[in-house]
Structure 1
Amino acid sequence: MSVSNKGFLGSTALSAVLAFGIGLAPMSLQAQDYRFTNVRVEGNQRIQSSTIVAYTGLGRGETVSAGALNDAYRGVFDSGLFEAVELVPRGNTLVIKVVEYPTISRINFEGNKRLKDDALSEVIESSPRRVFSADQAERDAGAIADLYRAQGRLASRVTPRIIRRNDNRVDLVFEISEGDTVEVERVSLVGNRAFSDRRLRRVLETKQATFLRALINRDTLIEDRIQFDRQVLTDFYRSRGYVDFQVNSVNAEVTKERDAAFLVVDVTEGQKFEFGDITVTSEFANADPDVYRSQLRLKRGVTYSPLVIENAIETLEQLAVRQGIDFLRVEPRVTRNDRDLTLDVEFAMVRGPRIFVERIDIEGNTTTLDRVIRRQFKIVEGDPLNQREIRNSAERIRALGFFAQSEVDVRQGSTPNDVIVDVDVEEQPTGSFTLGGSYSVDDGIGVAIGISENNFLGRGQQLSFNISTAQDTEEYKLRFVEPKLLGRDLQFAIDLGLSETESSYSEYDTSSVIFRPSITFDASDTTSLQLRYALDLDEMKSRGLDSNGNDRAGPVLRADIAEGKRTTSSIGATFTYDSRRTGLNPTAGFLIESGLDYAGLGGDNEYIRATSKIVAQKLVFNEEITLRATVETGYLGWLGDNKSRTIDRFLLSSDTLRGFEPGGIGPRDMSGSYDDALGGNLYAVARFDAEFPLGLPEELGIRGGLFYDVGNLWGLDDSNAAAGSNVVGRGGSFRHVVGFSLLWTTGLGPLRFNFSKALSKEEFDKERNFDLTIQARF
C-alpha cells in the first residue's frame, strides 16, 4: 500500500484556519447589526443543512450583532465536523460555507512486527465509517507509542498519515517504527548495608541483560516493572524488621542510542527492629485479654514484620467472631524504643462502628458463577462490616486467577448503618494447552501434552488431562479438583491414571491403573490434613529372554511376576505442618509431613505403610547462603497371607538418595549372573545442602551447592526371596555420599546438576557420579 507524503491538517493548521475565520467576519461586518431572513449552506455533503444552521444558534428574523455572528461561527466549527467554516453575510442572506472532514474508509498499521494489528486497534479511538479527526489521530498515535514504551521500546515512533480517496473519504495509516528494546545493562543499589547488591538483585523483577537475554525476558526497561520493584524491595526490607526503609529514587540513564539503560536505586535502610513487649487490652467485658494474648505466637525478640501484625490482628478478630462478639476491632498501637531497637505492640480491642453488610453485588462475571466469588467472603449479608475481611476477600478473589481485573469497593447502603459491597470483575481465559519436552537421566527424553481448565463450567473447579511419554515410561492422568466441597473449606480431588513403564534399571515392566479420591482441609494456620482412598490395579511383567535364551529376571523377580495382577484397596491420611504459611520468619522455614496408609479393605494386598519427612531451611550470612536439612523415613509392614512384591516395597530414586542409580542400594538378588534390585521394607535418609553464589552475574541464575547424603534401605520380610536364592543386603548399611551441585534457573525451569562421590557403600551398590534433575523447591 502506498502512502501519500501529504499529511493531514494538524492542530497548528487548524489554529490558522480558525484565526482566519474569526478575523474575516469583523472586517466585513465591522460593528453593525444584521437581520437575516434566509440562511444558505454551501459545501456540505453528509451533514444536513438544518443541522449546521442549528449549530449557529441563530434564529431567522432576529437582529444579529457582529459578536453573535462570531459566536455562531464558533458553534459550527466547534462541532468538530468541519475542516473549515466561513460565514458570509449577503444582504438578508447568511451564507455558511463549510468543508467537511472526510470519512475514514479504513485504518491500516504499517511497520509493526512485535504487536499485532488487533492489539493496536484496541488502544485507538478512530474507527472506519466515522468522521476523521486530526487531533484524534494524533492522540491515537500517542496511545500506540505508549503501548510500545510499556514494552521497553522507548525509541518507537508513530506517524499518522492519510490517503485521499474519492467521495471525501480517506484511509488512515499509522506508520510505525518500533525501535529496539531498551535493555538494562546494569542495576546498581546505593545506600544498602545489610544486604549486598547481589542479594537484592535476586529480589527485583528487573534483571540485568546478559548473553542469555532470550531466556531471561526481564531485562527490559519498563516503567511499570520498576514501580513494582520499588514495592517488592520495600516489602523485602520491612518484613525483615527495617521499618524505616524507603526507596529514595530510581534513576534510569538511557544511552544516546536509546538501546540500553543503567538503573540506579537509591535506598535508605534504617535500623533493624524486633518485637518488644506484646500486650492485649480490651474494651469488652466478655473479651478476656489474657485469653486473647494466649492465642498469639508472638514473643519478644522476634524480627518485626507488618505481615506478622496483620496475622495477629486476624487471629484476634476471628476469635472474637467465634465467641459471638460483634463490632470488635483490633488496633495495633506501636511504641518505638530507639535505645534497644524494639517495638512494643499493644493490640487494643476496641468497639467499631455498628455497620452491617446490606448486600454483596457482583458484576462482570459472564462465565464464573456468583457463588464462586461469594464463597471468597467470610461475611454474608446481615453480618457486621469488617474492613480487614473485605480486603482479604478481595485478595482471595484476585488469587483465583480467573479474572484479568477485580475491584472490591464499599459504598453507602439504604441506611447510614448499612453498606453495599460491590465486586466488579473482568473475566480472562482460564484454560490452557501445553506441549513440551522433558529429559531425565532415569527416563530419557520425553514428550508432555497437557490440557487444563482451572474454572470448569464457571464453578471454580479444576480439570486437567496430561499425557507423558518418555523413553521408558508412558503415563495418562486425569485430575478433577473441587476446592470448596459443599461450600466449605474442603478440597475434594479425584485422580485417575494409567501408566506403563519399561525401566532400563530393572528387568521387568509394570502396568498400573489408579483411582484415588481425597479430601484435604486446614486444621489451623500452619497445619492441614488429607484423607484419601486408593484403588490400584498393578502388575509386574516379564521382559522375556536375553540373547542367550535365559530369562532376563532372576528367581525372585520371576516369582513376583508370577503373582500376576493384584488389586490394592487402601485408606490413608497425611498430616502436614508448614511454618512458612504464617510468614513469621521469612529467612527460615520448617516442614513436617507424616502419612499412614492401611491396605486391606478388600483387594489382594494387606499392609500398613508409614512415611514421614522433615525439612528445615535457614538463610544465613545476610541471606546469601541457604542451609537445608531433610530427613525421610518409611516403613512397610506386610500383613497379608500372600507375599510382597518388589513394586510393593520401597525403591529409592536418585531424588531421595543422591549418588546412586534408582534402586541402586538395598537388598538385591544376585543368584547366578543376576543382579536385581528388590527394594526394602524400611528406609531412612538424611540430606544436608548448602547453596551459595559463585560470584557470577546473578542474571545467569547460576549458583553452587555442596551436599552430604546418608541413607539406608533394608528389610525383606514376607517376600518371594526363597531360601535358596542369593539375596544380599537384607540388613543393609548406611551409605555416605558427598557432592557438588550447579543450580541453574532457566526459562525451561530450575535445573540441578549433581556431581557426587560415595564415601561409604556396599560392593553390590550401583553408583552414579552425575545426575541432572529439576530442582525441587522447598
Structure 2
Amino acid sequence: MSDWVWNMTNTFGAGAAPSVRRNKFSLPLAAAIFAIVSGVSLTAPDAVLAQSYRFNAVAIEGNQRIPDATVVSYAGIGRGEAVTAAELNDAYQNIVNSGLFETVELTPRGGTLVISVTEYPTINRISFEGNRRIKDDALTEIVQSTSRQVFSPTRAEADAALISEAYSQQGRLAARVTPRIIRRSDNRVDLVFEVFEGDNAEVERISFVGNTVYSDRRLRQVLESKQAGLLRAFFRSDTFVADRIEFDRRVLNDFYQSRGYVDFRITGVSAELSPERDGYVVTFNVQEGQPFEFGRITTVSEYEGVDAAPYQEALRIKPGQTYTPTDVENSITRMERLAVRQGRDFLRIEPRITRNDRDLTLDVEFVLSRGPRVFVERIDIEGNTTTLDRVIRQEFRMAEGDPFNPREIRQTAERIRALGFFSSADVNAREGTRPDQVILDVDVEEAPTGSLSFGGTYSTTDGFGLQVAFQERNFLGRGQTLGVTVSGVSSNTNYSINFVEPRLLGRDLRLNFGLSYSESESDYSDYDAISGSFTTGLTFPLSERSSLNLNYKLNARDINLDDDSDVGPLLRAEAEEDLRYSSSVGYTYAYDTRLTGLNPNAGILLEFGQDFGGVGGDVEFIRSTARAIAQTAVWNEDVTLRATFRAGNISMLGGSDSIATDRYRIGSSIMRGFTPDGIGPRQYSPGNYDDALGGTTYAVAQFDAEFPLGLPEELGITGGVFYDVGSVWGLDQSDSDVFYEDFSLRQVVGVSLFWDTPVGPLRFNWTTALQKEDFDEEQTFDLSIRTDF
C-alpha cells in the first residue's frame, strides 16, 4: 500500500493578517489515488469508507513542545486496532481542532501511522499600534492572548473584535482592528494589533414625537445624551453610546412618572446612522397620557392588635398633590420605621391603588399586614479591596439576627451606590441555613475616589486665578473625606485643609475639621488683610428635611497698611491693633425641601445660625446669619424662578469693637451691580481718603428668572433677568466724615447671559442701579467663570 496524506496548512506571512487555509484530500479523491497506486479497481466510494487499516505503531514528527502522548491522545488511534478511512479523517480533525498546530499531516507507512505536525509559534510579545484614545494598559486587560502563550489565530481574531467593541462603547463605530504577526527566531512571533480608531459617531440630533406638555428642549435636559454642538470637540456626552440611550429611556420614564404621568410610555427609540457613519439622529416616540393626583389616602389594618390610626397620622402626602411613586415609597418607609419603634418587626405595608379616570386621581390605601417571620442570618460582602466592611455595613439599617425587610434591602443598595465609592453595587438575598433565615450578599466593584484637579477662575473684580485641589473621598478606605486646596488670584491667596467623618461612631453623625489661611490685597481699599481659622463641628439630622450643626471656630485676623496708604482715622486705628483672636461656639439649623435628581423644580431652603464669641479670644460678640431660598419652574418647566433672601448681624459685647475684617461687605457676590466694597458705611474726605468700612448688619433680597432664548440648546446659552434690593449698614464707632452708617436702600436691575462652555459655566451680568448713594461704586458689567481641567 502506498503512502497517502491528510494535510492542513495555516500560512502566515511576516506581518500579514492571520489566515487559515485547510488543504486535505477528500475521501473520493483519496480513494481514487489509492486505487491507481495499488492497482485495485474500486467502483464506489463506499468501498473506500469500508476499507480498514491496522497500524502497529504511531510515530510523531515535528513536535517540539507538545509531547507525543498528547498528539496520540487527540488522534484517538490505538495500536493494532482496525481503523477505517473515516476514522482516520476524524483523527485528523481532532488534531486540527486542538488549536495547537499550524500544519497537520497523517501518512500511513506500512504498519506505522506517521503524524507530522508543525506547532503554532509562541507569542513573544503583544503590542498595539495606532491607538490614542485607549491606552496600551487598558487594551492589554481586554485581550485574551498573552505573552509566552501558544498563538491562536482564532483567539487573535476574537481579541480584535473585543478591542473594536471597546471603541464602539466610546462611540467610535468606524474603528477597525487588524491582528498581525511578525516571525521571530525559535518559533516565536510578535502579535501586533493595528488599530484604526476612526472618528466619534456623534448624536447629531435628539428629537421627540408625541410630547405635547413638555418641549423637546426640556426633555433633552433630562437625558444624559446630548446633541453635538459647535464646540463638539470638547464634549463626550454627545458621543453615541447604545448603553447611554438605554439609560436615557429610564430617566425619561422617571421624569414623567415623578410628575404624575402614570400612563407614560416610550413606544420606541430609533437611532439612524448617517451615510458617513459619523452621526446619529435619535428619536424618542412617547405617549404622555394625563397627569394624576393623589385622591383619598387611607390606612387599614389586617394585623390583629395593630391600630391603623397612628400610621395614618404619620403620612405626609395629601389629596390633591401630584402623584409620584417616590412619595408612596417614602410613606411606606416612614410607616415601617414607626412599626419598628412600636416593636412590630414583621409588619408589612402594601399600597393598594384605585384609579379614578373621571377626576384623574389615584386613591391609595395602605394595608398593614403581618409578614413572614424571616431573619437575617448574616451579611457577606465581596469585592471591596480598599473600602472597609464597616463602611458598607453602616448603610444597613439592620444587622445579623434582625427581621428581614425586602424594601429596606432595596434602599440599602441605593445608599451604598450613593456613597460614590463603587462603580457597581448589588445587594441580593438568598436562603440561609434554615427556611426562616436569609443571607444578604453584597457585591461591589471599587471605583476611583481620589482626584487631583487644576482649576481656573476669572471675574471682573479679582481677575484671573488658579486653583489646585486634592481630594480623597474614601480616605484609607474608611469612607472619610480629605481635601487640600491652594488657590490664588492677583489679590488673594488661600490655603485650606478639610477632613470629614460622615459616620462618627457608626451613627448618622457628621464630624468635620477645617484649617484655612488667606492673604488678601484689596483693590478697593488701601489695606491688606491676613486671616487664619480652625473650625470643627458636628451635624446630625433632626428630621427627614432638617438638620442641626454645632460648631466651634477659632479665628485670627490682622489688618496691615502700606506706608503710603491714604486712609482715614477709623481704619488706621483698626490697623494699629495687634493680631486679633476670636473664639466662638455656634449652631446652624437648616430645613431643606429642595428636591434633587429627577425633579429639581421646586422647594425651599431655610437656614439660620448664630456664633457666640467670648469662649476665650480677644473679643465677645454674637453673629447671626439667615438665608432663605425658594425656587420653582413654570411654563412647563422651561422658565426657572428663584427668590433669595440673605441677612446678617454682628453685635459686639463686653466693650469690644468690630474691625473691617469682621464686618460685612456684600458687593457683587451678594448684591449685584456694585464693586465688593461699593456700598455701605464709608469714611470720606475729599482728596484725602475714601475708605469702605463695611457694616455690622446687612439684608439683601434677590429675584431671578432664567429662560431659553430660542437658540439651539446645544449651544448652551440661556438668558435671565434679575432684581436685587438691599443694604449694609451699622458701625460700632463713628466719625463726622462717615457716610451711610444708617440704613440706606439700594436697588438694581439687570439682565444675564448664561453660557455652558467646555472651560466652565460663564455668566455675564449687565446691571443698572435704580437707587444708590452718591459715593457708591457701581459695577455695571460682571463676568465670572470657574472650571476644573
- Give TM class, smaller chain: over 0.9
Decide whether aligned partners of structure 1 residues 562 and 21 sit closer, same or farther in structure 2, where only a CA change above 3 A counts: farther
Deviation at 1:67, TM superposition (A): 4.7
Decide whether aligned partners of structure 1 residues 761 and 104 sit closer, same or farther in structure 2, where only a CA change above 3 A counts: same
The one-character-per-residue Cα deviations of 1:47-74 (angstroms, maximum 9, x if unpaired) are 1111111223333234444554444334
The one-character-per-residue Cα deviations of 1:441-464 (angstroms, maximum 9, x if unpaired) are 232222211122111111111111
> Does the aligned pair in 2 maintain the 1:737–1:756 contact within 8 Å?
yes
The one-character-per-residue Cα deviations of 1:534-561 (angstroms, maximum 9, x if unpaired) are 011111111221xxxxx42211101111
Aligned to 2:613: 599
Bigger Cα displacement from structure 2, 50-59 vs 590-599: 50-59
The one-character-per-residue Cα deviations of 1:314-344 (angstroms, maximum 9, x if unpaired) are 1111111122111222222111111111111
Aligned to 2:19: 9
Deviation at 1:92, TM superposition (A): 2.8
> Does the aligned pair in 2 maintain the 1:308–1:583 contact within 8 Å?
no
Deviation at 1:586, TM superposition (A): 4.6
Distance 1:543 1:669 in 2: 18
Distance 2:74 2:526 in 1: 92
Question: Which structure 2 residues correspond to residues 50-65 of structure 1 after superposition, within 5 A?
Answer: 50-65=69-84
Distance 1:420 1:145 in 2: 40
Aligned to 2:529: 510
Aligned to 1:753: 764
Distance 1:132 1:310 in 2: 56
Question: Which structure 2 residues correspond to residues 569-718 of structure 1 after superposition, within 5 A?
Answer: 569-581=583-595, 586-672=600-686, 673-716=688-731, 718=732
Aligned to 1:548: none
> Does the aligned pair in 2 maintain the 1:239–1:305 contact within 8 Å?
yes
Aligned to 1:483: 502
Distance 1:391 1:301 in 2: 29
Distance 1:475 1:201 in 2: 39
One of 153, 156, 159 as aligned partner of 1:140: 159
One of 720, 742, 759 as aligned partner of 1:731: 742
The one-character-per-residue Cα deviations of 1:463-505 (angstroms, maximum 9, x if unpaired) are 1111111111111101111111111101100001111111112
Question: Which structure 2 residues correspond to residues 348-363 of structure 1 after superposition, within 5 A?
Answer: 348-363=367-382
> Does the aligned pair in 2 maintain the 1:483–1:491 contact within 8 Å?
yes
Aligned to 1:339: 358
Distance 1:451 1:748 in 2: 19
The one-character-per-residue Cα deviations of 1:494-539 (angstroms, maximum 9, x if unpaired) are 0011111111122221111111001111111111111100011111
Aligned to 2:143: 124
Letter in structure 2 aligned against 1:383: D
Aligned to 1:242: 261
Distance 2:673 2:436 in 1: 68
> Does the aligned pair in 2 maintain the 1:25–1:88 contact within 8 Å?
no
1:92 aligns with 2:111: yes
The one-character-per-residue Cα deviations of 1:409-450 (angstroms, maximum 9, x if unpaired) are 222211121111112222233222122221122322222111
Decide whether aligned partners of structure 1 residues 750 and 25 sit closer, same or farther in structure 2, where only a CA change above 3 A counts: farther
Aligned to 2:492: 473
Distance 1:493 1:191 in 2: 50
Decide whether aligned partners of structure 1 residues 746 and 25 sit closer, same or farther in structure 2, where only a CA change above 3 A counts: farther
Letter in structure 1 aligned against 2:111: N
Distance 2:326 2:106 in 1: 70
**3-state SS of the aligned residue for 2:142?**
coil
Distance 1:130 1:24 in 2: 36
Aligned to 1:158: 177
Decide whether aligned partners of structure 1 residues 22 and 141 sit closer, same or farther in structure 2, where only a CA change above 3 A counts: farther
Bigger Cα displacement from structure 2, 610-619 vs 157-166: 157-166
Distance 2:597 2:133 in 1: 41
Deviation at 1:570, TM superposition (A): 0.5
> Does the aligned pair in 1 maintain the 2:228–2:714 contact within 8 Å?
yes
Question: Which structure 2 residues correspond to residues 451-470 of structure 1 after superposition, within 5 A?
Answer: 451-470=470-489
Bigger Cα displacement from structure 2, 201-210 vs 704-713: 201-210
Distance 1:691 1:608 in 2: 37
Letter in structure 1 aligned against 2:547: S
Deviation at 1:23, TM superposition (A): 7.9
**3-state SS of the aligned residue for 1:30?**
helix
Question: Which structure 2 residues correspond to residues 532-571 of structure 1 after superposition, within 5 A?
Answer: 532-545=551-564, 551-571=565-585
Decide whether aligned partners of structure 1 residues 688 and 26 sit closer, same or farther in structure 2, where only a CA change above 3 A counts: farther
The one-character-per-residue Cα deviations of 1:229-288 (angstroms, maximum 9, x if unpaired) are 111111111111111212222212222221222222211111111111111122224432
1:287 aligns with 2:298: no
Distance 2:363 2:33 in 1: 80
> Does the aligned pair in 2 maintain the 1:57–1:72 contact within 8 Å?
yes
> Does the aligned pair in 1 maintain the 2:347–2:368 contact within 8 Å?
yes
Aligned to 2:50: 31
Distance 2:426 2:518 in 1: 44
TM-score of the superposition, structure 1-length normalised?
Answer: 0.94
Deviation at 1:203, TM superposition (A): 1.5
Aligned to 1:254: 273
Deviation at 1:24, TM superposition (A): 5.1
Distance 2:506 2:27 in 1: 70
1:767 aligns with 2:786: no
> Does the aligned pair in 2 maintain the 1:682–1:713 contact within 8 Å?
yes
**3-state SS of the aligned residue for 1:699?**
helix
Decide whether aligned partners of structure 1 residues 40 and 488 sit closer, same or farther in structure 2, where only a CA change above 3 A counts: same
Distance 1:513 1:420 in 2: 52
Deviation at 1:135, TM superposition (A): 1.4
Bigger Cα displacement from structure 2, 588-597 vs 642-651: 642-651
**3-state SS of the aligned residue for 1:146?**
helix
> Does the aligned pair in 1 maintain the 2:730–2:742 contact within 8 Å?
yes
Letter in structure 1 aligned against 2:683: D
TM-score of the superposition, structure 2-length normalised?
Answer: 0.93
Decide whether aligned partners of structure 1 residues 40 and 4 sit closer, same or farther in structure 2, where only a CA change above 3 A counts: closer
Letter in structure 2 aligned against 1:36: F
Bigger Cα displacement from structure 2, 303-312 vs 439-448: 439-448
Aligned residues: 762
**3-state SS of the aligned residue for 1:646?**
coil
Letter in structure 1 aligned against 2:127: N
> Does the aligned pair in 2 maintain the 1:239–1:586 contact within 8 Å?
no
> Does the aligned pair in 2 maintain the 1:508–1:540 contact within 8 Å?
yes
Aligned to 1:372: 391
Deviation at 1:616, TM superposition (A): 0.6
Computed over aligned residues only, the root mean square deviation of the Cα atoms, in angstroms, reads 2.2
Distance 2:370 2:739 in 1: 73
Distance 1:769 1:254 in 2: 48
Decide whether aligned partners of structure 1 residues 3 and 598 sit closer, same or farther in structure 2, where only a CA change above 3 A counts: farther
**3-state SS of the aligned residue for 2:667?**
coil
Decide whether aligned partners of structure 1 residues 86 and 3 sit closer, same or farther in structure 2, where only a CA change above 3 A counts: closer
Bigger Cα displacement from structure 2, 667-676 vs 618-627: 667-676
Letter in structure 2 aligned against 1:428: A
Bigger Cα displacement from structure 2, 661-670 vs 394-403: 394-403
Aligned to 2:38: none
> Does the aligned pair in 2 maintain the 1:26–1:66 contact within 8 Å?
no
> Does the aligned pair in 2 maintain the 1:105–1:171 contact within 8 Å?
yes
**3-state SS of the aligned residue for 1:478?**
strand
Specify every segment of 5 or more residues in structure 2 that has no aligned partner in the other structure, as ranges.
1-11, 35-47
